[in-house]
Amino acid sequence: MNTNKNTNKTTETRVPPMSDADLAVLGLADVAYVRPVMVEGKPGFAVHAANGNRLGVAPSREIAQAFIHEQELEAVSLH
């Protein structure tokens, strides 16, 4: 039985950025995400690898999702 009082103190731990090799070990080389962007003043949807590298830009979210599927990647949702 723990009788220590909870002081509600929180500590922040900074985690260093993960390398491409770290992401690959986790299987993240197989996922991509879509985010809205502006290209030459027009809206578009950029497809990014898990490490943040832009893979391409599409004129619609549907085409961006199709590109992800065509590349045999798994689309993930970001919050």
pLDDT in tens, 33-73: 999 999 999 999 999 998 888 999 999 999 999 999 999 99
- Work out how many domains the chain is built from and give that number: 1
Question: What's the one-letter identity of residue 73?
Answer: L
48: in domain: yes
pLDDT in tens, 25-37: 666 678 899 999 9
Its domain, for residue 60, covers 32-75
Assigned token pair, 23: 């992401």
- Tell me how crowded residue 63 is: count the other CB atoms within 10 A of its CB: 16
65: in domain: yes
70: in domain: yes
Answer yes or no: are the C-beta atoms of 67 and 47 closer than 8 Å.
yes
Assigned token pair, 50: 């898990």
Q: What is the pTM of this model?
A: 0.66
